A and B are shown apart, each in its own frame.
Chain A
Amino acid sequence: MTAVAEGAPVREAGGGLSDTLWRRPRLLLLLLLAPPLLWLGIIYLGSLFALLAQSFFSIDEFSGVIDRTPTLKTYGELLRPANLDIIWRTLAMSAAVTVASVGVAFPIAYYAARYARGRWKALFYLGVMLPLWSSYLVKVYAWKLILAKEGILGWAFEGVGLGWLLDAFLSVPGIGGNSLSVSPTGTFIVFVYVWLPYMILPIQAALERVPGSLVEASGDLGASPAQTFRHVLWPLALPGVVAGSIFTFSLTLGDYIIPQIVGTSARFIGLAVYQYQGTAGNVPLAAAFAVVPIVVMGIYLWIAKRMGAFDAL
């Protein structure tokens, strides 16, 4: 390397430094990595540790003063029935949203991966990507307009003479409410809508890698479409499904805006974190609550990794 460099034309100032870096790639690596690692290490990991530390503090219930001696008391509070309720409700919602997203996303992803060609392929791609990147708040707001009592959905139900069906559905306790926009069903629909693109893209990526001939071979060998799906397509798409479910699950776990705008006053983990650190001023409990999604996602990611989901990202 140096032999060639000696015969080179006049080098501009800084050549010495370049030579040093060329000879010592580790130094170059260090220079490249230092700024991003310092930023993420200090600001991000530092903050995460600050959060973790706070969850071991406790609050004096009468004075509201935060006591900084390490204790597990705050984690104990998570086990109160009201707080366990919040955790279970959030986990159930996340699971339901994930399952529904797979159901809605699969046909779109399958069509785009197997049948769409040329212009249609580009159209499908943009058709999923644009909603993915469209403003989150606007999407939530759109559903407030749609689900409102006087909104388009109620109007459509009335229009086809099925208003009674909607009313009957809304009167079911547990999933209904005064109107769809203040019912758990509303919250559920908005969650599915907002995270759907996160599910479509990884499933599509997984299905793109399934050769069409495989599906045909299965059919030629006498499998029904249902059997082909069950034994050929589904296992091959599974890493993509798991990858997508990481997003839908994690995003639902931590969201605090959707249940606030569309839904009942029933709380989710995100909303609890937000309220405890804000109006209630109970930062330790908020921090302890915030650790729940971290732990859940840690377990989830560990399982996903074992199922090979990261190869599909």
Chain B
Amino acid sequence: MRSERAPLWLKVLAGGGLLFLHGPILIVFLYAFSTESKSFVWPPPGLTLHWFARAWARPDIWEALGLSLRVALMATAVALVLGTLCAAAVARTRFFGREAVSLLVVLPIALPGIITGIALRSAFSLGDIPYSFWTIVLGHATFCIVVVYNNAVARFRRVSGNLIEASMDLGATYWQTLRFVILPNIATALLAGGMLAFALSFDEVIVTTFTAGQQATLPIWMLEELVRPRERPVTNVVALVVVLVTLLPILGAYRLTRGTDTVAGSGK
């Protein structure tokens, strides 16, 4: 007979593990409402919404948020195009060097972020390229390609090649086939991949410190606050906002691909 009940100790360990994963994030949320402004004292002596107003009135936060959003959007757009092209090639055909191509796509996140970061920085300095919005996008798009690629390649494998052949046999051009047959079939996978790429870029800090120069994205703003704190409670509020902004696209991607054999977000 199959025992469907988990032993108690396993339940405790698994539940404790989940608690360990979520507790700290919830604690940050609570700190955002704390009246204490000088130390990290626990429990919070009182609760207030004051720091949200303070954060709202800070132009440097808005600027950083704006830059982060623009970078994330642009990096996602580039990653969507490049990741999908690559997935289409790898999923549909066998060719010499196919393994090498998939390795190349994964490499930017398989190697530590600091390698990508310092590599880009040395390339910029050797090529005398000044830091700008585009140097940040360049780095972000490079490691975002893989999340789009992973989602798209899984979907491409499930779209039957017969559909495409049938479409072409019936006289459609490649463009028409793409527009009316391929895209509708892979749309949700692309949307999910794009959302994950957006979240990845929006939150990235390690590569960004090397490619941003004097510009501050929101994670860089936070990092500076962590190293040299100016107004701690405002940092708590920003932390709360950052978590929420990243979680929405993740939940969206999960809903879009739920129930398929490859659920988005199982790798980063």
User: Which residues of A come within 8 Å of B, CB atoms?
Assistant: 1, 4-5, 8-9, 11-12, 14-15, 17-18, 21-22, 25, 28-29, 32-33, 35-37, 39-41, 43-48, 50-51, 53-54, 104-105, 107-108, 110-112, 114-115, 122, 124-146, 148, 150-152, 154-155, 193, 196-198, 200-201, 205, 212-213, 216, 246, 250-251, 253-257, 260-261, 270, 273-274, 277, 283, 286-287, 290, 293-294, 297, 301, 313
Contacts and interface: CB of A to CB of B under 8 A. Distances in A.
Given A108-B18, A133-B246, A270-B114, A45 B104 contact: yes
Q: Which of A9, A134, A293 has the most CB of B within 10 A?
A: A134
A69 B25 CA distance: 50
The 3 closest A-B pairs by CB, nearest first: A254-B112, A8-B171, A111-B14
20 contacts: A5-B171, A18-B172, A35-B85, A36-B83, A39-B78, A40-B107, A43-B142, A47-B116, A107-B14, A125-B263, A137-B223, A142-B27, A144-B40, A146-B27, A150-B42, A152-B27, A246-B110, A254-B114, A270-B112, A287-B122
B74 to A, nearest CB: 14
A217 to B, nearest CB: 11
Contact of A105 (B17, B24, B86, B116): B17
B206 interface: yes
Contacts of B28: 138, 141-142, 145
Question: Interface extent on B, as a size class?
Answer: 35 or more
A28 B92 CA distance: 11
A11 B171 contact: yes
A135 B173 contact: no
A150 B39 contact: yes
Interface of B: 2-6, 10-11, 13-14, 17-18, 20-22, 24-25, 27-28, 31, 39-43, 78, 81-83, 85-86, 88-89, 93, 95, 101, 104-105, 107-108, 110-116, 118-123, 125-126, 138, 141-142, 145, 168-176, 196, 199, 203, 205-206, 209, 219, 222-223, 226-227, 235, 239, 242-243, 246-247, 250-251, 254, 258, 263, 265-268
Given A32-B86, A48-B119, A148 B174 contact: no
A42 to B, nearest CB: 10
A134 B200 CA distance: 9
A125 B20 CA distance: 15
Contacts, number: 285
Contacts of A4: 169
